[in-house]
Chain A
Amino acid sequence: MKNAQALAVLSVVFAAGTAAARQSDFARVNRQAAPNGPRPAGDFVLASTTSLRDTGLLDVLVKRFAESSGIKVKAIAVGTGQALALARAGEADAVVAHSKADEEKLIADGYGIDPVTLMYNRFIVVGPKTDPANVKGAGTAAGAFARIAGAGSPFVSRGDKSGTHVCELAMWAAAGVKPDGEKWYVKSGSGMGQTLMIAKEKAAYTLADSATWGAFATGSNLAVVFDRGDELKNVYRYIRTNEAKLPKVNAGAARCFAQFLCAKETMELIRSYGADKPGGPLFVPMGCPENRR
């Protein structure tokens, strides 16, 4: 019989772990979304870009909305390309993105409706403090990219179809440079944080959003080398998924969230968000001008 205790003890270990977790309030909340239950009417899937989540603002907004509305929000942070694909497939009820051309395509194809302009921050070109390509002397963003290519200085690209990557590609096009396949052009295929890490290790240039850069700036061998001009404005918009085209989407919750985002109090929250962080405040609210037309 002693031998049987081996399995018995082990199952007790498992059971204890499971039971301990069950006791927490948190687990109770999670069980509400547990298997086999009907989909709660208010369940709301929001696809957002990673850059927004990485600043922490997404979690703050979602938490406040969930508290005030009682709607259960599932905010999924993925690259802009994937976020828009989730909206197009009807897997997300709404999307927050920062890649205008791709957003316009979603809207033109009839999958996205009622876009509202929420806020912006800035893209910045960061590079080695020594600035070997003399990017600081450039007059325009396109000029800055042309100088990097001209000098053949290492450049780390996100390479992940994120909003930042899309902006970077537009800058290369404006500079008349085709960086693909060049020795100095590195595609990281990862998020902004990791891309900045790689740029730091390789003493390379990269395009970053100002919010993520804020977390990296201290103690880095990199510095902002270019940050002027409207081309580098990073505008975030909220777009609902069209329930006429994708009947499974939760249009009611998506409308509620739009109202919440555009409310004066939310815009004030965005204005002050991150004011205590390096490089903050992180966003400039734009107040949904579409609603005033």
Chain B
Amino acid sequence: MLLGETTGLSEITFLTVRVTFTATVIAALAGIPLGYLMGTHEFRGRRIVIALANTGMGLPPVVVGILVALLLSRNGPFGAWTLIYTPAAIIVAQVVIALPIIAGLTAAGIQGLSGDMLVQIRAMAAGRTRTMWLVLREARASLVAALLAGFGGAVSEVGASMMVGGNIEGQTRVLTTAAVLETSKGNFGAAIGLGAVLLVLAFGVNLAGTLVQLGEAGRG
């Protein structure tokens, strides 16, 4: 079989899921409120923040990898935390990759709501938290899309995971870095197999997200 030569496939898949889900959740916790602020509030430097987020949506993972590696390496400013070459380091890098995507798409989704609706929500809602909740609820389809895009950006990147994780067997080897390894070994069959697992994983997550989107649209 294609995957016969890949050792520890289930561990690699579990680690990929664990790392990328954690990174997406962290990026969402920071990115959705940030996107909400960008989409609804006027503040100084707002346009620059939006431009930064949009630039960040295209951040090359290799560049993120170099920067995070510099920060986390033994002699770097956060070296004492000893995060380099751990799953946590990959999570940090993937948060950096996913956060601008989630924030940018959240903001775009909110800006896509009609102005009347925002006025209405502001009029009827008491308090900031309530307003935010209602606005995000109206933009929920965009939020799902933002989360899926953030997840996709994180799960598919290889440059940063390779650099800050080190592709260590049994510790930081994820699906993408394992696929690169098998390619460089010349085991193209195994590399394709790993790619297939990655695709199935991404498809499953997107299918779940899409069902949530469609289900909500049907009810709303």
Q: Which residues of A contact B (CB under 8 A)?
A: 2-7, 9-10, 13-14, 17-18, 20-22, 24, 26-27, 29-30, 33-39, 43, 45, 50, 53-54, 56, 59, 62-63, 74-77, 89-91, 190-194, 196-197, 212, 215-216, 248
- Measured between beta carbons, the chain A residues less than 8 angstroms from B208 are 13
Chain B interface size, as a band, is: 35 or more
Q: In angstroms, how far is the closest chain A Cβ from the Cβ of B82?
A: 4
Are A30 and B212 in touch, CB under 8 angstroms?
no
Q: In angstroms, how far is the closest chain A Cβ from the Cβ of B126?
A: 17
Residues of B87-124 contacting chain A, CB below 8 A: 87-88
Contact flag A27-B21 (CB < 8 Å), given A6-B140, A54-B184: no
Whether B73 sits at the interface, judged by CB under 8 Å, is yes
Q: Can you give 16 A-B contacts (C-beta < 8 A)?
A: A3-B216, A6-B143, A6-B216, A7-B137, A13-B212, A17-B21, A27-B18, A34-B88, A35-B83, A43-B82, A77-B167, A89-B73, A90-B74, A193-B184, A196-B186, A215-B187
Are B216 and A192 in touch, CB under 8 angstroms?
no
- Measured between beta carbons, the chain A residues less than 8 angstroms from B185 are 54, 56, 193, 212, 215
With beta carbons under 8 angstroms apart, the residue of A21, A191, A193 that contacts B15 is: A21
- Measured between beta carbons, the chain B residues less than 8 angstroms from A89 are 73, 75
Q: In angstroms, how far is the closest chain B Cβ from the Cβ of A75?
A: 6
Whether B81 sits at the interface, judged by CB under 8 Å, is yes
Whether B33 sits at the interface, judged by CB under 8 Å, is no
Are A18 and B21 in touch, CB under 8 angstroms?
yes
With beta carbons under 8 angstroms apart, the residue of B14, B86, B181 that contacts A21 is: B14
Are B22 and A3 in touch, CB under 8 angstroms?
no
Are A59 and B169 in touch, CB under 8 angstroms?
yes
Residue of B at shortest CB range from A216? B186
Are B219 and A14 in touch, CB under 8 angstroms?
no
CA gap between A111 and B92 in the complex, in Å: 31
- Measured between beta carbons, the chain B residues less than 8 angstroms from A39 are 82
CA gap between A200 and B129 in the complex, in Å: 62
Are B171 and A21 in touch, CB under 8 angstroms?
no
Are A35 and B15 in touch, CB under 8 angstroms?
no
CA gap between A7 and B132 in the complex, in Å: 14
